[in-house]
Amino acid sequence: MSPGLKLASRDGPDPVTGKAPNVRRNAARTLANMLPRLWPKGRADLRLRVGLAMVALIAAKGITVYVPFLYKEAVDALSPETVAAAAIVVPVMLIVSYGVGRIMMIALAQLRDAIFAKVGQNAVRELAVETFRHLHALSLRFHLERRTGGLSRVIERGTKGIDFLLRFSLFNIVPTIIELALVCVILAYAFDIRYSAVTAATVIVYMAFTFTVTEWRTRFRREMNDLDTEANTKAVDSLLNYETVKYFGNEEHETRRFNRSMEGYERAAIKTATSLSLLNTGQTLIFSGGLTALMLMAANGIAEGVLTVGSFVMINAYLIQLYQPLNLLGTVYREIRQALIDMETMFDLLEVPAEIEDKPDAGALVISGGEIVFDNVSFYYDRDRRILDGVSFRVPAGATLAIVGPSGAGKSTIARILFRFYDISDGAVRIDGQDIRDVRQDSLRAAIGMVPQDTVLFNDTIHYNIRYGRPDATDAEVRKAAELAQIGRFIDGLPQGYETRVGERGLKLSGGEKQRVAIARTILKNPPLLLLDEATSALDTHTEKDIQTALKRISQNRTTLVIAHRLSTVVDADEILVLDGGRVVERGHHEELLALGGAYAAMWNRQRETEEADRGDEERQFAASEESEIRGENGMAPAAADPGFA
């Protein structure tokens, strides 16, 4: 294995859930979780389908074990000792019956699969939706540590494994065991207990060998899965950060990282393929040995006059007929074992607890005015490193509060706490007197509109991304929101208008265009509370002024919390809090804070100096551009630059 590859194994944690191997779900627990979905509550139609499928299965197996009897009778009826011109109708009817039996055997099996298809696919859909819903219920902490490619691969393999397991565990393993038991009883009754014993011994040795070798091969398949997940995660991560890769010219570096994962996958795949050859060879030797022994016994019985040629054919037909599902059983067991491996991580994922949960008696948040209160709020991952330490402030209904401070001061943490992505360690957060821990999360988040610093859009149309603020909004409402966000004219000027696709994470739009889409989305949501998390810090000065105009428009008559990097954007706030080291160090209006001459004044002066330097650079660039245009028009340098005019 290549150095630097961190893989899940029997000795390490799972790559997605982080669980140690000793808590991995075993096969029995996986089946116990999955099988009840075949008999879903409140679905009489699906239960009826299960019952009909079982009837078809039993009928198919009954015909399967009876068909060799027809074969025997037909062979005996056609032997020279028994056939006669007048009795030719008997073997013909037996042959026709044999053909009809073969058709019914296959037809009933296909009918069984068709009836059960809806049950299996319903179970797959329900589990996939349950997993998807659970992922959205997990905490922000989990998703900040997630590996998106790995998660998607786990769900994909898990749902495919469930589909396979549902179909083949019921309709291959169980029917094969039933058929084996019936064949052993028939052979013991019709011939001799020795035939039954040899058949049973052959099948038992065959199955024991198959299960043992498959278990040994399982670790190779598990390693393949882990390396496949690792490679896919690296590929997705690299492609999502395409621009960063290009900025630093690290295409070959990314290719080498991906290649290291694929090299490990290649080695594991080779081990899997070679061990499969060993398994197939062993299975053939065991079954062929048992079949040869039974044929020798039957031939000896014919020589002694105890058995007829039809009996010989019937024994051979039973063994060949039994070999087909047994041979498939080896493959099916391998696939079922693999399906169980694929499902383990998916079920483990379902067991990851949601860090933030509603109280059993939680009601909906009721907004009467929109007052926000942080009362002595502290937050920390561990007590030695506090992110927020005793933060208190009040935002009156309809007012605007700005929070400023250096990077790492805890500004964005306040936004995440307000949305209840995290639960605070001490203190309380109240909206109109209601502790946000006592209300439903969906009602809390429905009341807050968010315009983030880094707007990430869905890889869909502009219309879809704006409408995401309120999915039931009409087209007219979407257009009105776009106009209010000052992006309507831009959208109308695009060849495909509102149906223009924005690309992965909105990369086809500029920063200002994405911000306007985010503002339009928030306008459409029409929330009573507004949170602006450094919504203009990544924009140029001209674009920032346009965005600020749009933001002021939507913040009117709304309680607004502004987390700002550029102080020039918050000078009109009703109150400004200066946060440093997780504590409020200053608070007041813009003029009051400047008069204090403290942390805010120092930040203001530094930013003014930077802005003046930037403005000077812009003016010089503009002058250079003007001079370049003059040169281009005259085909020569300006006159003042010519020594002859000095």
Task: Please give the average per-residue pLDDT across 599-622, as a whole number.
Answer: 74
Looking up residue 136, the CATH number of its domain turns out to be 1.20.1560.10
**Residue 557: inside a domain, yes or no?**
yes
- Do residues 106 and 168 share a domain? yes
Number of domains in the chain: 3
Query: What per-residue confidence (pLDDT) applies to 614?
Result: 61
Q: How confident is the model at residue 366 (pLDDT cuts 50, 70, 90)?
A: very high
In tens, the pLDDT along 533-561 reads 876 655 566 666 776 777 777 788 889 99
Average pLDDT, the chain: 78
Residue 304 lies in a domain: yes
Three-class SS string for 130-196?
Answer: HHHHHHHHCCHHHHHCCCHHHHHHHHHHHHHHHHHHHHHHHHHHHHHHHHHHHHHHHHHHHCCHHHH
- Asked whether residue 6 is domain-assigned, the answer is no
441 lies in the same domain as 455: no
Within this chain, do residues 174 and 323 fall inside the same structural domain, yes or no?
Answer: yes
Q: What is the mean pLDDT of residues 288-308?
A: 84
Query: pLDDT of 102-153, one tens digit each?
Result: 788 788 888 888 888 888 788 888 887 887 787 777 766 676 666 555 677 7
State the pTM of this model.
Answer: 0.62
Distance CA 500, CA 609 (A): 41
- Rounded distance between C-alpha atoms, residue 470 and residue 449, angstroms: 11
Same domain, 511 and 557: no
Same domain for 110 and 177, yes or no, is: yes
Domain-located, residue 356: no
The secondary structure element, H or E, covering residue 326 is: helix 309-351
Are 85 and 131 members of one domain? yes
- In a shared domain, residues 398 and 459: no
pLDDT digit string, tens, across residues 178-235: 778 888 888 888 788 888 888 889 888 988 888 888 778 777 877 887 888 888 888 8
Q: What is the domain extent for residue 147? A: 21-351
CATH of the domain at 501: 3.40.50.300
For residue 615, name the pLDDT band (cuts at 50, 70, 90). Answer: low
Across 55-79, average pLDDT: 78
- The C-alpha atoms of residue 13 and residue 11 are separated, in whole angstroms, by 7
Same domain, 188 and 79: yes
Percent residues over pLDDT 90 in the chain? 11
In a domain, 644, yes or no: no
460/320 same-domain check: no
Given a cut of 60, whether residue 85 has pLDDT beyond it is no
Q: Which residue, 526, 555, 571, sits at the end of a domain?
A: 526
Contacts of 475 (CB under 8 A, 6+ apart): 463
Helix and strand numbers, DSSP H then E, in the chain: 19, 10
Q: Are residues 235 and 93 in the same domain?
A: yes
- Specify whether 460 is located in the same domain as 334: no
d(CA 194, CA 268): 44
Pairing of strands 559-563, 529-533: parallel
- For every residue of 497-543, DSSP letters joined together read GGG-B--GGGTTS-HHHHHHHHHHHHHHH--SEEEEESTTTTS-HHH
